[in-house]
Amino acid sequence: MTTKITQQSKTVELAKLDKKHLLHPATNPKALIDNGPPIIFAKGKGVIVTSTDDVEYIDGMSMLWNVNLGHGNQELADAGNSQLSTLAYASSFKGFSNEPSILLAEKLAELAPGDLNSVFYTSGGSESNDTAIKLARFYWELKGKSEKRKIIALTNAYHGVTIGAQTATGLAAFHKFASSNIDGVVRAKAHLLNSELGDKSDPNYADSIRGTIEREGAETIAGIIIEPVQGAGGVNIPPEGYLEAVRKICDEHNILFMADEVICGFGRTGKMFGVNNWNVVPDMMSIAKGITSGYSQLGGVMMNDEIRETIANFDAVIPHGFTYSGHPTACAIGLKNIEILERDNIIDHVNEMEKELKKGLDYLAEKHSIVTNCRVIGLLAAFELYEEPTSGKLFDPTVFPANAVVDACFNRQLIVRALGAHNQIVAIAPPLIINKEEIEKMIQIIDDSITAFKNTRE
Ligand code: PMP
């Protein structure tokens, strides 16, 4: 029987049930049960999310970098409602199809760079990356090169948690979890521009993508998976020329360039896709999150005409597909989401707001000597906390500086996120519809939170 919940006791009752029945993702279960309560969100509007206790938070992370058009968007809700009452769900297996999935595929082909004209739908980012890995291997098998099956993935990469995507993820904790990894993923060090341009005197050359290809043999490598801007690994923007250099390496060695646009896609970086910042056309592209602004679960892998045509000539059933591949309601919301992005010139707005966010971070770095390495691309940003930035001295590992600042922000009703192997990075990725005043409010809260953190250290 479901527990009856009165308005008065709502948060307490829900928290009790949550602790009893939910195992939360990416959460310390013991700490939650011992020290909870969980924060239970009840509603949202624009950049604001409101808890069951009626506390309003500025969502400075778009939740999980995905609520790009902000909360409570009526047009997205209406698009979902309308499709739900017309045809909520239809299978895409065995040639079945539906109008929203077809029209969205056409729109994606129009928006995507180069000849990335086809999409394989999934329900999210991890499924997209697992699919991309499988399709890359399948493509080479069809080309008669089945020995080309390794995937190069980068340090600090985040590609998700299904077993293939998790293996490609470059963050240590994920690899230890339940010893679940696939074979054939090799790690290269991220963002070694000189090495990738061919400078063998670079001390890290052996660990670079070039060095890795020389060691492993290009004839064994299917593709390189790469986030145009690394997200969960620390909001790491590649050096200028890096992605172009990787594209060139892929061309030289007949290796697929697989862009993971799960965070970067759909305007987050001030362009429609992250790769558009660098004039690079990938062979495959994983998309999710911002495609629906989180109003429904949807992802996909886009592929170029060569891959599509090679696979299209395979004359047997492809044994890969998800129940929710091409979900009509998710696709209808995706279509509306893109329509709004274009109609309201959201990407121009992102570029305007980028300047405000940059100004804010510069102010924080100027005011607080512990703030350093500020970076902003579109509305994807981070800064770092060092005890002594000039000498590169980090805080003692027991301090957890980013957690401290993020918690202080939360107590002041702003959601931002702690990242980094040394818990030194604070990430900011607000909804793309955020305005100047809301950015100023965010910066004010972060400013106060850093001051509060510094005060605890004195
Ligand atoms: N790739 C990237 C770059 C991501 O940031 C994420 C999620 N944060 C994923 C893949 C995995 O997506 P999902 O959680 O939807 O499976």
Structure tokens at 25: 């993702």
**Which ligand 1 atom lies nearest to the CA of residue 64?**
8
CA distances from 376 to 189, 238, 355, 359 (A): 22, 12, 9, 10
Answer whether 283's CB lies under 8 Å from 250's CB. Answer: yes
Sign of the C-alpha dihedral computed for residues 151, 154, 155 and 160 taken in this order: negative
408, pLDDT greater than 70: yes
**C-alpha to C-alpha distance for 20 and 29, rounded to whole angstroms:** 11
4, pLDDT greater than 70: no
Give the 3-state DSSP-derived string for the chain, with helices as H, strands as E and coil as C: CCCCCCCCCHHHHHHHHHHHHCCCCCCCHHHHHHHCCCCCEEEEEECEEEECCCCEEEECCHHHHCCCCCECCHHHHHHHHHHHHHHCCCCCHHHCCCHHHHHHHHHHHHHCCCCEEEEEEECCHHHHHHHHHHHHHHHHHHCCCCCCCEEEEECCCCCCCCHHHHHHCCCHHHHHHHHCCCCCEEEECCCCHHHHCCCCCCCCHHHCHHHHHHHHCHHHEEEEEECCCECCCCCECCCCCHHHHHHHHHHHHCCEEEEECCCCCCCCCCCCCHHHHCCCCCCEEEECHHHCCCCCCCEEEEEEHHHHHHHHCCCCCCCCCCCCCCCHHHHHHHHHHHHHHHHCCHHHHHHHHHHHHHHHHHHHHHHCCCEEEEEEECCEEEEEECCECCCCECCCCCCCHHHHHHHHHHHCCEECEEECCCCCEEEECCCCCCCHHHHHHHHHHHHHHHHHHHHHHC
Answer whether 68's CB lies under 8 Å from 298's CB. Answer: no
Q: Best of 61, 62, 66, 159 to mutate for ligand 1, by most ligand atoms within 8 A of CB?
A: 159
Over residues 188-202, the mean pLDDT reads 98
Q: Which residues line ligand 1 (CB under 6 A)?
A: 64, 124-126, 129, 158-160, 227, 231-232, 260, 262-263, 288
Neighbours of 85 (CB within 10 A): 9
Residue type, 161: V
Sign of the C-alpha dihedral computed for residues 432, 433, 439 and 441 taken in this order: negative
pTM: 0.97
**Which ligand 1 atom lies nearest to the CA of residue 297?**
15
Q: Does domain 75-343 have CATH number 3.40.640.10?
A: yes
Q: For position 7, what pLDDT does the model report?
A: 58
Q: For position 35, what pLDDT does the model report?
A: 84
Q: How far is the CA of 127 from the centre of ligand 1 (A)?
A: 9
| Confidence band, pLDDT 50/70/90 cuts, at residue 3 | low
| Per-residue model confidence as pLDDT tens digits over 7-38 | 558 899 999 999 999 999 999 999 998 887 78
The number of angstroms, rounded, from the C-alpha of 175 to the middle of its chain's C-alpha atoms is 18
| Per-residue model confidence as pLDDT tens digits over 36-81 | 778 999 999 999 999 999 999 999 999 999 999 999 999 999 999 9
The architecture that CATH gives domain 39-72+346-457 is: Alpha-Beta Complex (3.90)
**Which ligand 1 atom lies nearest to the CA of residue 160?**
11
5, pLDDT greater than 80: no
| Per-residue model confidence as pLDDT tens digits over 251-270 | 999 999 999 999 999 999 99
**Which ligand 1 atom lies nearest to the CA of residue 124?**
15
Q: Best of 151, 263, 284, 293 to mutate for ligand 1, by most ligand atoms within 8 A of CB?
A: 263
Q: How far is the CA of 234 from the centre of ligand 1 (A)?
A: 14
Average pLDDT, the chain: 96
Q: How far is the CA of 2 from the centre of ligand 1 (A)?
A: 33
| Per-residue model confidence as pLDDT tens digits over 339-364 | 999 999 999 999 999 999 999 999 99
In this prediction, what percent of the chain has a pLDDT beyond 90? 94
Answer whether 269's CB lies under 8 Å from 229's CB. Answer: yes
Q: How far is the CA of 157 from the centre of ligand 1 (A)?
A: 10
Residues carrying CATH 3.90.1150.10, the chain: 39-72+346-457
Q: Report the complex ipTM.
A: 0.99
Q: For position 6, what pLDDT does the model report?
A: 57
Structure tokens at 209: 């993508």
Over residues 172-182, the mean pLDDT reads 89
Sign of the C-alpha dihedral computed for residues 409, 411, 416 and 418 taken in this order: positive
**Which ligand 1 atom lies nearest to the CA of residue 165?**
10
Q: How many residues does the chain have?
A: 458
Answer whether 295's CB lies under 8 Å from 268's CB. Answer: no
| Per-residue model confidence as pLDDT tens digits over 128-149 | 999 999 999 999 999 999 999 9
Residues carrying CATH 3.40.640.10, the chain: 75-343
Residue identified by tokens 């994983």 is: 286
| Confidence band, pLDDT 50/70/90 cuts, at residue 197 | very high
